[in-house]
Structure 1
Amino acid sequence: MSAPASLELAWFAALCDDDYEQLGVPDPSLLSSYQHCADIVHTADRLGYDAILMPSGYALGIDTVAFTAAIARSTTRIRPIVAVRTGEMWAPQLARQLATLHHLLDGRMVVNIISSELPGEQLESAPRYARTLEYMRALRTLLGGNRLLGGGDWVPMAVDSPRIAATVGGCPPLYFGGLSDDAREVAAQEADVYLMWPDTMPAVEAVLADMRGRAARYGRTLRFGYRVHVVVRPTEAEARDAAAHLIAALDPAVGESIRAKSTTVSVRLANSPS
């Protein structure tokens, strides 16, 4: 009998002003700050979680890379999943920045690739994912200690790998998610872990089968991550009460406004009638 695949449990650091006691009711005490977010990370580290997502935004919260650098040496085992938006930074400098973070974390870092539009940008899906693919390839090359040969539309430069990359043992795992055809093709070619969202069992199984097939066509295999919000209490009754409290003050119009902020295929599918 083959050994079971390893299972990793991760938590979420609320870097983007996304911590609420009740959805839709902002609480100034829960806004993203170094102390509040560091408390979340240190608690998850102490409780034995394998990893913790450091999300990336622009208008809200605090910067992902700067915060991760600040807490790097005060954690012991947890692996930060550092979200970076492709196109925000010159690719070689992003590689140098991530290599430095990986060094500060003693090789404990994971990179979550984000393909959304940049602040103030309007870019169609196809070129946006083409940019993402080039950035992922550039990061894998440079963080692997190899020379980037250039020639791309989005990453055209030829440049040597930064020296610090040679000290961290290669490129950290690249996590990536998206349900559009463009996103799935990028993941099949370059992701190490394909991230998914909650859905019915048949729908999740269909995505798994599709992504395994796509990756196989490139001679690759994928691991899979499943992101879900959970409400945990000592008893089911307490958990249901807590879940009810979480949404009790949410005005329907506010909920629609929150959903309308995202136009990704994943969110549109999650919000569509069954």
Structure 2
Amino acid sequence: MSVEVSWFAALCDDDHEFLGVSDPALLSSWEHCRGIALAAEEAGFDNILLPSGYALGIDSVAFAAGIAPLLRRMRLLLAVRLGEMWVPQLARQLASIDQMLGGRLTVNVISSDLPGQTLGSAPRYRRTLEIMRVLRSLLDGQPVDVDGEFVQLTLDPPRVRAVGRAPFYFGGMSEAAREVAAQAADVFLLWPDTLPKVAATLDDLRARAAAHGRTLRFGYRAHVIVRETEAEARAAAARLVSKLDDGVGERVRAQSLDTGSAGVANQVALRDSADDEGYAEANLWTGIGRARSGAGAAIVGDPDQVRAKLTAYAELGVECFILSGYPHRTEADLFARYVLPGLDHAPLEF
């Protein structure tokens, strides 16, 4: 059973040796994030997520255009926040980057409040769905004629279009988010959760997609801490939060534009359900969520345990993993050394 294994480029100032402690050497920059991406390609990862923020870090689209000519085989999973940019211009930019990559672009669609704006969940997801449909048409070289709530546009496609499918990876746990995924996503992304809850979510999304005559594929976004022994891995997890002040962690979480989302609420609930050491189930550690708003748990263990955990998710139907660790370049090397050679992995085909 082959899966896509991706790493994470810390474009949003999300790189640390100790959570909650800022390190100027690990802040987002072209040089630092380029190093993570090139190391991930050298290590054999299939794809790399370029996250999108506003207050922190560097721009994902600009970074993608810069790194694309430097990559020989790895895909880019480019995160874009729909609504920040006029959709025809976004389509041209994505198509141009896909041309640079020779058809290896994948798109992580983000639905969140925009900087300086608050929009209720229901209209925000209606906006996301409208833009996804228009963006899909333009990337596929199709004209659009839309008189929607948020998009009014009659336009022929630009000459430059995506080489490949440029599939949409999309996540969200609210009812509205799940319905958007069922109608317009190619890959539904989950944040960490226990195996039974992951299974229930996959079953729900399969049924929703089927109701629209569609099928979905599934991805799992998590952190990872792997060492030669489980004791060493658990010690590394404890060390990561050993200097974390809870007040600092709360301020870090509050900086995100999605702090009120259903997905974030689920991560809080997962952390609340954990044992005294922060483990929600075997090898699933929630300590990272103390200083992170989004995906807030890590797979922690020795190489066999980490591989077994990934395999358990894959057996439920997860076909791609987007992993990260702290510091990102160091943890990518450890995962590539201990786990990646034992996994049957390759980019998803669409």
Greater fraction of residues in strand: 2
Equivalent of residue 234 in structure 2, options 240, 247, 257: 240
Alignment of 1:138-177 (within 5 A): 138-165=134-161, 168-177=162-171
1:60 aligns with 2:56: yes
* Mean CA deviation greater in 97-106 or 256-265: 256-265
Unaligned runs of 5+ in 1: none
- 1:202 match: 196
Once residues 77 and 120 of structure 1 are traced to their aligned partners in structure 2, the CA distance between those partners, rounded to angstroms, is 38
- 1:267 match: 264
Once residues 143 and 250 of structure 2 are traced to their aligned partners in structure 1, the CA distance between those partners, rounded to angstroms, is 47
- Cα deviation 1:161-190 (Å, max 9, x = unaligned): 11011xx33541100000000000000000
Q: CA deviation at 1:233?
A: 2.1
* Mean CA deviation greater in 69-78 or 238-247: 238-247
Note if contact 2:98-2:163 (Cα within 8 Å) is conserved in structure 1. no
Once residues 95 and 125 of structure 1 are traced to their aligned partners in structure 2, the CA distance between those partners, rounded to angstroms, is 24
Note if contact 1:194-1:224 (Cα within 8 Å) is conserved in structure 2. yes
Q: CA deviation at 1:263?
A: 1.2
Q: CA deviation at 1:239?
A: 1.6
- 1:82 match: 78
Q: CA deviation at 1:238?
A: 2.2
Once residues 40 and 55 of structure 1 are traced to their aligned partners in structure 2, the CA distance between those partners, rounded to angstroms, is 13
Give identity over the alignment, percent: 59
Q: CA deviation at 1:249?
A: 0.5
Unaligned runs of 5+ in 2: 274-350
SS at structure 1 position matched to 2:147: coil
TM-score by length of 1: 0.95
1:192 aligns with 2:186: yes
SS at structure 1 position matched to 2:173: coil
Equivalent of residue 14 in structure 1, options 1, 10, 13: 10
Note if contact 1:33-1:61 (Cα within 8 Å) is conserved in structure 2. yes
SS at structure 2 position matched to 1:207: helix
* Mean CA deviation greater in 211-220 or 200-209: 200-209
* Mean CA deviation greater in 6-15 or 231-240: 231-240
Q: CA deviation at 1:234?
A: 2.6
- Cα deviation 1:206-262 (Å, max 9, x = unaligned): 101100000000011100000111012232222222111100001112223333441
- Cα deviation 1:57-109 (Å, max 9, x = unaligned): 01110010111111111111111100000001111111011000100111111
Amino acid across the alignment from 2:207: G
- 1:36 match: 32
SS at structure 2 position matched to 1:157: strand
Alignment of 1:131-142 (within 5 A): 131-142=127-138
Note if contact 1:259-1:267 (Cα within 8 Å) is conserved in structure 2. no
TM-score by length of 2: 0.75
Query: In the comparison of the two structures, how many residue pairs are matched?
Result: 268
- 1:130 match: 126
Once residues 22 and 112 of structure 2 are traced to their aligned partners in structure 1, the CA distance between those partners, rounded to angstroms, is 25
Note if contact 2:187-2:217 (Cα within 8 Å) is conserved in structure 1. yes
Once residues 117 and 203 of structure 2 are traced to their aligned partners in structure 1, the CA distance between those partners, rounded to angstroms, is 34
Once residues 30 and 190 of structure 2 are traced to their aligned partners in structure 1, the CA distance between those partners, rounded to angstroms, is 29
SS at structure 1 position matched to 2:222: coil
Once residues 91 and 152 of structure 1 are traced to their aligned partners in structure 2, the CA distance between those partners, rounded to angstroms, is 13
Note if contact 2:51-2:79 (Cα within 8 Å) is conserved in structure 1. yes
Equivalent of residue 95 in structure 2, options 93, 99, 117: 99
Note if contact 1:41-1:52 (Cα within 8 Å) is conserved in structure 2. yes
Note if contact 1:139-1:171 (Cα within 8 Å) is conserved in structure 2. no
Q: Higher RCO, 1 or 2 (CA under 8 Å, sep at least 6)?
A: 2
1:255 aligns with 2:249: yes
Equivalent of residue 69 in structure 1, options 61, 65, 69: 65
